[in-house]
Amino acid sequence: MTTRFSISELAEMLHVPVQYIRQAVDALSSEFTGESFPFDDRNWRIGPSDVKRIQAWIIDHEEQLRADALAASRRIRAKRLVSKQPSQEQP
């Protein structure tokens, strides 16, 4: 029986974020061997023969992946200024 890896296992094995693996799988899914297959919604079982293909794709597209991750992680923080209400003076 062939050992297959999940996306999260593959990310841990290759020391890259899960998002990188997802993008590689989406790009390469039509080129995978019969050992790799989707199941459930967006989960995959990746065969060992396709791991090197995913790893090579990530290396080739590393700059683009980092730029996409940086753009996705940017957050704009707004600072709210609350005006003080004039205190009611007591006679």
The alpha-helical segments, DSSP class H, found in 1-91 are 7-14, 18-28, 48-60, 62-73
Q: Report the domain count for the chain.
A: 1
pLDDT band at 12 (very low <50, low <70, confident <90, very high): very high
Q: Which domain holds residue 47?
A: 7-73
Q: pLDDT tens digit string along 28-64?
A: 888 888 787 887 777 888 888 888 899 999 999 888 8
Separation CA 8–CA 78 (nearest Å): 34
- pLDDT tens digits for range 74-91: 566 777 788 777 666 665
Q: Judge whether 89 lies within some domain.
A: no
Is residue 1 domain-resident? Answer: no
Q: Are 14 and 62 in contact (CB under 8 A)?
A: no
pLDDT at 44: 83
Classified as helix, coil or strand, 43 is strand
